[in-house]
Structure 1
Amino acid sequence: MSHTHVAGSIHADVAAAPVWLGLPDDVNALLPQLWSRNTAKNEAGELTVAGLTVSEIADRVGTPAYVLDEDDLRSRARDFATAFSGWDVFYAGKSFLCRAVVRWIAEEGLNLDVCTGGELAVALAAGMDPARIGLHGNNKSEEELATALRVGVGRIIVDSEEEIARLSSLSDQLDVRPKLMVRVTAGVEAHTHEYISTAHEDQKFGFSISGGQAAGALRQIHDHPRLQLLGIHSHIGSQIFDADGFEVAVRRTLRLHAAFAAQTGVELPELDLGGGFGIAYTSQDTPSSAQELAEALNAIVRAECLAAGVAVPKLSIEPGRSISGPSTFTLYRVGTVKPVQLDSGATRLYVSVDGGMSDNIRTALYGAEYSATLASRGSDAGPALSRVVGKHCESGDIVVRDEFLPADIRPGDLIAVPGTGAYSRSMASNYNHVPRPPVVSVRDGVISTLVRRETVDDLLALDVG
C-alpha cells in the first residue's frame, strides 16, 4: 500500500531544484516576461515600478502588499480589445476585482464577466453599465438572478435545468426578457500545452453535448416565450498557452450550433469561447500574445463554420489572468533565513516572509509554481537554492517552491514575487487571523490604494462574541 502526504505530494518530497530551473548567470537579473512592463531594476539593483523603488513603496504602505502597475493592466486590456477587434471581450472579474479595475477595463473598451452577487455588486458600485456585464455561476441563487434581471445585465450564462426554471419564474414576476447563453461541456480539457478530448464531462459546470443535455437546454430556452437565447458558451480550461486546445471544442460546439439551426431554422447569433489564457510564472512558461491568440482563434472559427455550413456568429472571449496576472507583484519582507540539509546532500535556504498562504494559496492548493527576486538591493553573492515560505502554522505554507536567490539574503531584505495579480487577493484568507494585505497601484511615481490593508479591528468586528 502506498501513502500520500495529507497536504499533497508537493509537501512530501525533498528533491533538489526541478529540471526546468536552471542556475542563473546573474541571480539579480529579471526575466522580463514575468514582470509588468514598467518594472525594472536600477543601478543599485533595487526593483522599481512606474517610477518608485520597492523601498519607497514598503515605507509608505508596509509589507506584505500587492503592487499593481496600472499602465500595465490597462495596456493588456487594450491589447485584447485591439487584437480581438469585432469580438466582445469580457474581463473575467474572478481573477481580481475592485472598483478601480472595473473602471479601468470599462475605459479600455472591455465588458465584464462576474460570477456571484458580490462581484456584481462591485461592478455596479463602480458604475459599470449593466448591459456590458455577463453573469456566470453553476449555482446562482434566486436572489442573485433577481438582482441581475432587475438591473438589466447583458447576458446570463445558464448552467442547469433548475436555473432555467428559476429564470422562467422570475422573468414572469419581473416582466423582463433576459438574454441567455447555454454553457456546454464539449468533452475537451485544455491545460498549458496539452489538451485531452475525452472523459472531461464529469464536472459541475455546463450541459453535456454528447449526452444531449445541451441540445435540450437550447431548445427549452428557445421555445420559452420570455427567455431570449443568444447562443452557446464553452470554456475548456485554464493557463492555456496557445489555441490548439480550442480546435476540437469549437468543432463540437459548432456542430451543436448547426444542429440547432437545422431543427429550428434559427442560427444562434453568438458564441463564447471562454478564457483561460495563460501567463508566465516561471522561465518554463511561454504564453501566446493576445494577437497570436486572436489570429489562431479567428482561423479556427472560420474553418469550422465553413465545415459546419453556418455563418460566423458574434464571438466573445473572457480573459482574466492574462490581463491582471502579470500586472502585479507581491512585496514581502524577510524575517528569517534557515539553511536545511537535504537527503541528496544539497542545501536549501528556507526564506520566511511576512505573508504566506493567506495571501497566495495557489502554491499550496494547486502546486502552482512562482518565481522571486531579491528586490531591495543588488548582491555579489552566488545563487543559493531557496524556498520562500510564509509565517503560517502549516508545513505546506509555501509561496515559491523553487528559486535561486542570492546566498547572502538576510532578515530585513525585501522579496518580490511576480505574476500575483490573478487569484492571489481574490482567494486570500484570514488563516491564523492574519489581516489581508492591501492592493496598491503605481502610475507615474504615484501610489494609490485600491483595496486597503485589513486590520485586527476588522477581524474583531466580525466576531460578535
Structure 2
Amino acid sequence: MTHEAGWAHAPGALRGPAWLREPDDVDALMPRLWSRTARKVDGVLQVGGVPLPELVAAHGSPAYVLDEDDLRARARAFRDGFAGYDVYYASKAFLSVAVARWIAEEGLFLDVCSAGELTVAERAGFPMERVGLHGNNKTAAELERAVRLGVGRIVVDSFVEIERLAAIAAESGRTARVMIRVTAGVEAHTHEYIATAHEDQKFGFSIAAGDAFEAARRVLATPGLDLRGLHSHIGSQIFVTAGFEVAARRVLGLHARIGEELGAVLPEIDLGGGFGIAYTSQDEPADPAHLAAGLTGIVEHECRALGIAVPHLSIEPGRAIVGPSMCTVYEVGTVKQVRLDGGATRTYVSVDGGMSDNIRTALYDADYSCTLASRGSTAAPVLARVVGKHCEAGDIIVRDEFLPGDVAPGDLVAVPATGAYCRSMASNYNHALRPPVVAVRDGEARVIVRRETEDDLLATDLG
C-alpha cells in the first residue's frame, strides 16, 4: 500500500531492491549488462575502442552509443543458433538505415509495423522478400504499399484487414502472402503491457473462441491471398522457453486442424520470441543456441504427438539483438542530498536527459543500472537515484544504483542496455531535442542518427 505522503515516506525506502548488492568495486562493470567491447581503462568507460569523454566532447550529451561489432555478433548468434529458422529483427526496438543494412548483411529478416519502418527498410535497400509487415490496424495505404513492394509476409490481425487486403490484391492483380496472428491464451511472466498472448488484448484472433480458425477459412477461400501459416507471440523480456509449451501446443493444434478440416497444409509457423536481456544483476539471459534447442524440442514433441510434419519455423528475438548493444551517456548537472523522515538521505543525481530519451522506467517500471563513465573513483559507494531534467516527479532513469560517493556535476554517467525502445520511443517532451545515435567500432565513432536541432523542433510549427 502506498504511503499517503508518497514513496519517500514509506518504510525501508532507502534499502533498495532485494537483488541489488553493494559492490566491492564501484568502478567495475558487470559484463553481461554491457556490449562486448565495453571496458574501463583507468576508470574511463570505452565502447568500441572510443573513450566516452572523447565521444561526448565531439558529439555532446546525452547520446546513444551503439556498438556495431556487438550488434552484428548478436545477430549472427541468433542466425546461427536458430539455424534453419527465419530470424526476424524487431524494427520497433530500434531502426535506422545503417542498422537495417547491418541486419541485411548478417542474413536476418526484418519485422516492420508501420509505413515509417517500411520506408527505412526501402531506403536501406533491404530485400523485401525478407520483410514482414505487422500491426493491429494497418491502413489501406500501408497494405497497398506492402503488396506493391512484394514484402515476404503480411501478418493479418482482424477480419476487416482480411477484406481490405483482399480488395487490394484483387485491384493490383498481385498475390499477398499472409500469416494469421493468433492469441493462444498464454500469459507471459512479464509486464502486462508487453504480454501479448492472453485473450483480453488488442492483438490477433483467438484460438479458443474459434476466430483464428474462421480467419484461416476466409483467407484460404479468398483469391489473391496466399496463407503461409500462423503467427503467435506470447510477450517480451522472456528468459526461458517453458512459456512456449502451451502456446506451441495450441498453435500447432490449430495448424493440424486447418490441415484436417480445410485441406490446407500450411508451410510455416512463427512462435514469436521476445527474449530477455540483462538490465540489472537480477537478469540472467540465455544464449541463443540454448533457446533454440528448447524451442525446437517443444515444437518437435508437439508435432510428433499430433502426427504432423514440423513446419518451417520463424523466430523474433525482439530486444535481444539491439538491446545490449547500446548504452546512453549523460552529463551530471546536479547532485542533491534529500533528507527524509528518520534522518536518512537519498542521493539524487540529475542528468541532462530523462524520460524524453528513456521512457521505459516511467512506462513499464523498468529497472536499469549505470556507472560513472568519465573517471575512476576510490570513494565509498552510495545508493543513488539517477533522474532526468523534465518537469515530472516520475522522470527517473535509474531508480536504485550504487555510484561513487564523490559523483559530482560535470561527471559522465552511462546506462547500459538502452538499445531497445529508448530511441524508438523518444519524444520531444518539454521540447527536448532527441539525442544522436553514435556508432562506434575499432576506435572510430560516426553519427548514424544525428541530434535534433531547434530548427527540426520547429519545422512543423506553422506559427
Whether TM-score is above 0.5 comes out as yes
Shift in Å, 1:342: 3.0
Amino acid across the alignment from 1:127? G
Q: CA RMSD, aligned part only?
A: 1.9
Distance 1:4 1:345 in 2: 18
**Gap change, CA 1:147 and 1:34, over 3 Å in 2:** same
Moved more, 199-208 or 229-238: 199-208
> What pairs up with 1:317-356 in 2 under 5 angstroms?
317-343=315-341, 345-356=343-354
Tell me what 2:268 maps to: 270
Shift in Å, 1:191: 2.7
Tell me what 1:176 maps to: 174
Distance 2:383 2:298 in 1: 43
Tell me what 2:434 maps to: 436
Amino acid across the alignment from 1:248? V
Amino acid across the alignment from 1:32? P
**Gap change, CA 1:112 and 1:13, over 3 Å in 2:** farther
Distance 1:162 1:265 in 2: 24
Alignment of 1:186 with 2:184, yes or no, is yes
Deviations 1:387-415 (A, max 9, x none): 00000011100000000100000000000
Tell me what 1:310 maps to: 308
**Gap change, CA 1:41 and 1:92, over 3 Å in 2:** same
Shift in Å, 1:198: 12
**Gap change, CA 1:12 and 1:341, over 3 Å in 2:** closer
Checking the alignment, whether the CA contact within 8 Å between 1:347 and 1:385 is kept in structure 2 is no
Checking the alignment, whether the CA contact within 8 Å between 1:192 and 1:242 is kept in structure 2 is no
Shift in Å, 1:89: 0.5
Tell me what 2:367 maps to: 369
Distance 2:318 2:300 in 1: 25
Tell me what 2:139 maps to: 141
Deviations 1:24-60 (A, max 9, x none): 1111111000000000001x11101111111111111
> Which of 148, 151, 167 is matched with 2:149 structurally?
151
Checking the alignment, whether the CA contact within 8 Å between 1:359 and 1:429 is kept in structure 2 is yes
> Which blocks of at least 5 consecutive residues in structure 1 are unaligned?
none
Amino acid across the alignment from 2:278? A
> Which blocks of at least 5 consecutive residues in structure 2 are unaligned?
none
Tell me what 2:391 maps to: 393
Partner of 1:287, secondary structure, is: coil
Shift in Å, 1:10: 7.7
Shift in Å, 1:265: 2.5
**Gap change, CA 1:89 and 1:108, over 3 Å in 2:** same
Shift in Å, 1:346: 3.2
Shift in Å, 1:129: 1.0
Amino acid across the alignment from 2:155? I
Distance 1:403 1:114 in 2: 35
Moved more, 341-350 or 434-443: 341-350
Shift in Å, 1:4: 9.2
Tell me what 2:19 maps to: 20
Shift in Å, 1:266: 2.3
> What pairs up with 1:271-310 in 2 under 5 angstroms?
271-310=269-308
Tell me what 1:30 maps to: 29
Checking the alignment, whether the CA contact within 8 Å between 2:44 and 2:51 is kept in structure 1 is yes
Amino acid across the alignment from 2:419? G
Distance 2:399 2:122 in 1: 38
Distance 2:346 2:191 in 1: 30
Amino acid across the alignment from 2:304? L
Percent of paired sites with the same residue: 63
Deviations 1:89-147 (A, max 9, x none): 01011000000000000000001000001100000010001111000000000000000
Partner of 2:43, secondary structure, is: coil
Partner of 1:248, secondary structure, is: helix
Checking the alignment, whether the CA contact within 8 Å between 1:352 and 1:389 is kept in structure 2 is yes
**Gap change, CA 1:355 and 1:296, over 3 Å in 2:** same
Partner of 2:257, secondary structure, is: helix
Moved more, 13-22 or 430-439: 13-22
Shift in Å, 1:18: 1.0
Shift in Å, 1:275: 2.2
Checking the alignment, whether the CA contact within 8 Å between 2:188 and 2:197 is kept in structure 1 is no
Shift in Å, 1:347: 2.2
